[in-house]
Structure 1
Amino acid sequence: MITSTACTKAFGKPDIDFEIKYMVVWKVPEAIRVKIPVLPQKIYCHKLMVAPLEKAFKNIIDRELTSEVISWNGCFCIRRKRGQSTLSIHSWGLAVDINEKENAFGAKPTMSAALVKCFTDAGFEWGGKWSKPDGMHFQLSKIYSMKNISLFRVVLFAMLVGMLGACKSSLAPTVTSQTNDTIIKVQTLRDTIIKTKQDSSFYKALLECQNGKVVINRPISVTPGEILKIPGVELQDNYLTVKCKMESQEVPVQLKENHTQRIKTVLKIKTQYVPRELTWWQTTQINMGRVFIGLVLLILIITFLRLLKIV
């Protein structure tokens, strides 16, 4: 059974700061209001009440007990308990009242056990079993410190992130570049023909007869060629004509050309680290570590549940 002291310790006094931090306006789903029409469209309650209330109402619908919900008599109300000096659990929005006229405070409850079970199965405590019965009253059977819940979530998240980080490979694939220069010498032979130009020489002289012989008296004209010298002589009509001629020639020539070609090759090498196959002892160690981590997590969860200050 939760008390006002426990609520104050977990959430503080029910003042404006409390309402800003913990209270919410829960819009009752249309599917629930259609089946239980006495419910309001919106319920102003503690945020811890939303899920249990929705579960209780769905239990009522699923178990076909909607006709037994005759009236809705509120949730949040800052007031003292009837006949006492301590605050009611309604002051923190952690309790609801239904069927008030049929189950008045201090009177014998008339609410069916089936309807009560719809709420208790959802995490509520029924006031109809108290020494001074309050048959209309249902309040959460346990409350949790929101601070401890948040701390537990942060620690659990940090542990999960740490475990995932530990599984990450520390060696990422690397890519390296290797540049190779290849020099290729190419020799090309080319056959061609060189044509030389025509060349000639000319010689002309006056011949005389001396002692019964024709002799050359003096040269009349001498024309040498660029290359050729004066060759043979022709004697006719007492004139000596000397001609020298060279026909054009085709001279075969073989030309040799040397070329140097440079080829640059860039080779990219990707190094992929492949893990070695584990031995049976390494596998055993890993499995033992997993069991150990699981036990540590279980111990931490149990410890935090105890620190949640379940009331």
Structure 2
Amino acid sequence: MQIFKAVFGVLLLLFCLTGCKTYKEPQPITQKETEIVTKTITKTQRDTIIQVKADSSYYEAYIDCRDGKPKILDHSSGKPQKVRPGKNLKPPTAKIDENGKLQVSCESLEQQLTVALWENHILESKLKEKTIIPPPVEIEKKLTWWQKLYIRTGQLSILILLIYLGFKIPWKRLMKLF
């Protein structure tokens, strides 16, 4: 009878420790890639003052009195001797009015020009995000009723074995050791 119990216990233990499972090949992992592009445009107005330097022109001529009236003339032709235009000015004009007053236009003052400049700064940032989504696992073959019975019997036998060991172990002696 002792041999029968030992053989039955070993067979029951082997029966409980074995299971049913088919070999599955690993499924390929799919990747989902998302790209987020963010553009930030910043506009800045800059005021700039441009200064134009002072300019002058030059005029030189002889004044001669004829019949009691002054005349501007050159020695030979009666034209001004030297005329030099400026960078921004036309050659000066000179005239003498009836009262003998000499009028010459010859220089300009410093000028300031204000220019508004716009600066555009574009900041572009990209964010790539990868999401790995495993595909759903499809079961090719369902378990048969025999395989299901085999699994349930193994679960039930483990439960019975744990209950049996729970009653057989002398708990009071073990507690005294600790």
Bin of the TM-score, shorter chain as denominator length: 0.5 to 0.7
Which residue identity lines up with residue 156 of structure 1 in the other structure? C
Are 2:108 and 1:252 equivalent residues in the alignment?
no
The match for 2:17 among 157, 178, 183 is: 157
Question: Partners in 1 of 2:36 and 2:123 — Cα distance?
Answer: 14
| Equivalence for 2:49 | 193
- Map 1:173-184 onto structure 2 (within 5 A): 177-184=33-40
Which of 264, 269, 285 is the equivalent residue of 2:126?
264
What code does the residue aligned with 1:256 have? W
The answer for the alignment partner of 2:83 in structure 1 is 222
Letter in 2 for 1:154: L
Q: Partners of 1:222 and 1:233 in 2: how far apart?
A: 10
* Gap change, CA 1:153 and 1:295, over 3 Å in 2: closer
The 1:151–1:222 alpha-carbon spacing in structure 2 relative to 1, beyond 3 Å, is: same
Residues 198 and 247 of structure 1 are in contact (CA less than 8 Å); yes or no, is this contact kept in structure 2? yes
Identify, as 1 or 2, the structure richer in strand.
2
Cα separation, partners in 2 of 1:184 and 1:228, compared to 1, 3 Å: same
Q: Note the alpha carbon deviations across 1:110-146, whole angstroms, 9 max, x for none.
A: xxxxxxxxxxxxxxxxxxxxxxxxxxxxxxx612486
State the match for 1:207 in structure 2. 63
1:295 to partner: Cα distance: 6.8
TM-score w.r.t. the length of structure 1 is 0.33
Q: Secondary structure at the match of 1:188?
A: strand
Map 1:110-129 onto structure 2 (within 5 A): none
**Aligned to 1:209, what secondary structure does the other structure show?**
strand
SS in 2 for 1:143: helix
Q: Does 1:143 align with 2:12?
A: no
Q: CA RMSD in A?
A: 4.5
Q: Secondary structure at the match of 1:250?
A: strand
Letter paired with 1:222: V
Q: Give 3-state SS (helix, strand or coil) of 1:155's partner.
A: helix
Contact 1:204 1:241 survives alignment (8 Å)? no
**Cα separation, 2, equivalents of 1:294 and 1:270:** 33
Over the matched positions of the two proteins, sequence identity in percent amounts to 31
Give me the whole-angstrom Cα distance separating, in 1, the residues matched to 2:64 and 2:152: 144
In structure 1, stretches of 5+ residues that fail to align are 1-140, 166-173, 272-291, 302-311
Letter in 1 for 2:88: I
- Aligned-partner Cα distance in 2 for 1:213–1:294: 137
Gaps of 5+ in 2: 22-29, 75-79, 134-148, 159-178
**How many pairs were matched up?**
134
Question: TM-score, with normalisation over the residues of structure 2?
Answer: 0.53
Q: Which has the higher helix share?
A: 1
Contact conserved, 2:12 with 2:157, CA < 8 A, in 1?
no
- Measured after TM superposition, the shift of residue 223 of structure 1 is 1.8
Shift in Å, 1:193: 0.7
Aligned residue for 2:89, secondary structure, equals coil
Q: Deviations over 1:30-72 (max 9, x none)?
A: xxxxxxxxxxxxxxxxxxxxxxxxxxxxxxxxxxxxxxxxxxx
Would the alpha carbon gap of residues 223 and 158 (structure 1) be closer, same or farther in structure 2, given more than 3 Å must change? same
8 Å CA contact retained: 1:203, 1:243:
no
Distance (Å, rounded) in 2 between the aligned partners of 1:299 and 1:186: 72
User: CA contact under 8 A between 2:40 and 2:123: conserved in structure 1?
Assistant: yes
Q: What SS does structure 1 have at the residue aligned with 2:86?
A: coil
Using the TM superposition, give the Cα deviation of residue 205 of structure 1 relative to its aligned residue in structure 2, in angstroms. Answer: 0.3
Shift of 1:251: 0.5
